[in-house]
Amino acid sequence: MRDFPTRWTIVLVAAVALHAAVPLCAAEAEEVWRIVQIGGARVGYVRTWSEMQTRGGEKVLVTEREHVLSLLRLNDRVSTRMVEHVEESAAGELQSYEFEMHNPPGAPLRRKAAIKDGKLLTELEVNGKISATEKAWDPAVKASVALDRLLVEQPLKPGEKRSFQVLEPSTGEVQTVRMEAAVAYADVKLLSGQTKSLLKVHTTAGPMQAYDDYLDSTGVVWQETMDFLGMATFQTSKAEALKALAGGQVDLGAAMLIRVPGLKNAATAGRIVYRVTTPGEDPAKLLANGRLQQVKKLSATQAEVTVTASGEFPGASTIKLGAEFLEPNSYLQSDDSLIQKQAAAAVGTETDDLKSALRMERWVFKNLKKKNFSMLLASAGEVARDLSGDCTEHGMLLAAMARARGIPSRVAVGLIYVRKLEAFSGHMWTEVNIQGTWVPLDATLGEGRVGADHIKVSNTTFAADDASGLNAFLPLMSIIGKMKIEVVEVK
C-alpha cells in the first residue's frame, strides 16, 4: 500500500493555537483548558497558563501553552506535544517566545525568538542542528496567545470586522488574522449539552486557514469549528479536558481519503483528465500548473486538471534557479556526511545527472524498508540515520541526496490514487532539476517515473524563509475533506 503523510497534524495544532482567554491584567496565574475533537471524537487538549510577573521592576506577562494530540494512522499512533512559552510587556508587545514540538520517535523541533534592536532574532533546531535568521520586526505584530485577550478587552459587536498581525510560533511567520462577526447572536449547543447565546465570528489566519469562533458578550471564545476533517475545540474544565485522550480514536489516513471508485489504470495511464470541485475554494488557484499538469478553470469552484505521466527527458530549459534549490538547510541537510555517503553509494561511477537521480530514487526505495506512520516531519538527516518512515521521509531523503550530488531539488505535495482503497490520499514526492527542467521522482514507488495518478498541489524547498516547509501543506489542508474528483478521460 502506498503511503499517507501526517504533516496535517502540525497544521491541526496551528489551527487550535489562537485561543488563550487570559486577561492582560491578571496578577495571579490563570489557566484555560480546551478539548480538541475531530469528527466528534476527542483527540487532544490545549492548556493555556498565564501570569503577570515582575522582573527588574517591570511587568512581564508570561504565557505557556501546551497542545497534546493523539491520532491513529494505519494502526500506528501519532502522538504530538507542543509547548509555547511567550513573554510580553505590560503593554502587550511581544518580547520573546520559545516553541517545542515533540513527536516520538523523531527528534524534537525547537524554535526560539527574541525581539532586539527592531529585529526578530530566531534560532531553529532540527535534528540537533541550529540555524539562525533575523528579520525586521514590527512592534504592532501580536503574539498568537494575545488574540483572545484582545477580544475580552474589546469584545466584537454584531457585524463588526477586525484584523490583526500575528506571529505564528510553529512556523515563525507573521499572519494576517481577519475576523468578521455575524449580524446577531444565536443559541449554540455547548459541549456540556447546555445552550448559550453566542456570536459567530468567521476567522481567517493567513491565506489557507479558516475557522468559526463562537463568543459570548464578554468576548470569551467558547468553541471553534473548522471544515478540515470536522475539527472543533471547546472550552471546558481541566478534569474534562484531561479525559480527551480516553475517547474514540481517529484514523487520520482514512479521514483524508477522497473516494474515486472505478479508476483502474491510474498508475499506468499516460494521461488522465480530472474534474476537480472544491466548494468555497477556487481549485485553479490551489493546484500547481506546469509541464506535466495543466489546470483549466471551469468556474469559481471547479477546474479541469490534465495530468501527464513523466516519460522521456524533454530536454534542457532556460529556467534559472535560485540557490535555495541546491543549498543545505535545516530539513534537507545535504551537507550531512551520512547523506553524502549514501548518495555516493547510490550513484557509484555514474556522471549523468538524470541517471544519477534515478539511481538515488531506487536506492531510497530499496533501503527505507521500515514503514513508520507515527512520525510527523522528520528531517533528511534523521531519515538517513533511521532509514524508516512514510512517503514524506522518502521524499525528504531523496531531495537531500540529490543536492549532495549537486542536483537541484524540491519536494512536491499533493495527492496519489490508491487503487486498493479506490481513493486519492495525501502524498509527497521529489522533483529534481536537470538542465533547467523539473523532473518528478517518487522514491516511495521507485519506478523511475511519476504517473498520472499524482495530482500536484504545491512544492517547497524547506529553505529558512519557507516557513519550515509547512506552507506547502496549507493549500491541500484547505480543500481536503470537501474536494471532489471526477475522472473525465484516461489515456
**Cα-based distances in Å from 471 to 68, 175, 194, 393, 466:** 22, 12, 38, 18, 7
Cα 488 from Cα 384, distance rounded (Å): 41
DSSP state of 246: G
**Cα-based distances in Å from 475 to 37, 169, 206, 314:** 22, 19, 11, 29
Q: Angle 391-404/353-367 helices, nearest 10 degrees?
A: 140
Give the pLDDT means over successive 10-residue stretches in the chain (491 positions): 34 44 51 86 88 91 90 71 92 92 80 93 84 91 88 93 89 87 95 92 78 92 82 88 65 77 92 94 91 97 97 85 91 94 98 97 92 67 88 93 97 92 92 96 95 94 62 70 92 91
Q: Which CATH number fits domain 258-490: 3.10.620.30, 3.40.50.1860, 3.30.160.250, 3.40.50.1010?
A: 3.10.620.30
**Cα-based distances in Å from 235 to 21, 36, 219, 244, 479:** 10, 9, 13, 12, 26
Q: What is the secondary structure of 447-468 as a DSSP string?
A: SSS--TTEEEEEEE---TTTGG
Cα 84 from Cα 113, distance rounded (Å): 11
3-state secondary structure of 292: coil
According to the model, what pLDDT value does residue 20 have?
Answer: 41
**Cα-based distances in Å from 19 to 26, 65, 131, 174:** 16, 10, 29, 17
According to the model, what pLDDT value does residue 24 have?
Answer: 39
According to the model, what pLDDT value does residue 252 have?
Answer: 67
- Intra-chain end-to-end CA distance of the chain, in Å: 24
CA torsion 279→72→471→330, rounded to 10°?
A: -170
According to the model, what pLDDT value does residue 7 have?
Answer: 34
CA 441 to chain centre: 22
Cα 231 from Cα 38, distance rounded (Å): 4
pTM (predicted TM-score): 0.76
According to the model, what pLDDT value does residue 64 have?
Answer: 93
**Cα-based distances in Å from 39 to 82, 213, 254, 338:** 22, 17, 12, 42
3-state secondary structure of 230: helix
CA torsion 388→391→392→395, rounded to 10°?
A: 100
